[in-house]
Copies of this chain bind each other. A is one copy, B any other.
Amino acid sequence: MPTFEPRNPDFRAAVSRRVVAQGYLTLLGVELTALEPGSAEFHVPYRPDIGQQNGFFHGGVVGGIAEAVMGAAAATLVAADANILGAEYTVNLLAPGVGTALHAVGEVIKPGRRLIVCRADIFAVAEDGTSTLCAIAQGAMAAIEGGSGSAATGR
């Protein structure tokens, strides 16, 4: 994994604030458990109301967590006044999301000026602490400098 230089020395505080500011991540119960330049990790305890018809984590939750953890990883590398908005992402669901929690790892692969391309691995954590890879994702996050992103993804 490559090493990245953060442009914002206070990136940890900035990304933590960003995660808290996303109502949806609070609703899902996302805990930000690790943050380094170019990477982020989330822990998401299971609850029936984020499940699907078989009691697994819902595929839309798994994908949403993947998108959000890639966004957090991307946000570690941008300027203090930049906003990050998802441009696109792809999720392959490998195994049912069965367990007491999801553990999500996002990392930046290519920090472009406009698009920051990332990958994510999502693990289902069993009661005994063992992890199973349950989804992989890749996607591009748009970095919108100097504003709140009212211009959306710059498009």
Contacts and interface: CB of A to CB of B under 8 A. Distances in A.
Interface of A: 18, 21-27, 47-54, 58-61, 63-65, 67-68, 71, 83, 85-96, 109-110, 112-115, 117, 119, 133, 136-140, 142, 148-150, 152-155
Which 4 residue pairs spanning A and B have beta carbons closest together? Answer: A112-B155, A60-B64, A59-B86, A24-B58
A109 to B, nearest CB: 6
A71 B63 CA distance: 14
Contacts of A25: 58
Contacts of A136: 109, 117, 119, 138
Nearest to A50: B24
Nearest to A115: B155
A43 to B, nearest CB: 16
A48, A88, A114, A115, most chain B CB atoms within 10 A: A88
Nearest to A152: B96
B153 A93 contact: yes
A61 B64 contact: yes
Given A110-B155, A114-B153, 6 more contacts: A23-B50, A24-B52, A87-B115, A88-B92, A88-B93, A136-B138
A51 B63 contact: no
Nearest to A110: B94
Given A22-B52, A27-B27, A155-B112, A89 B91 contact: yes
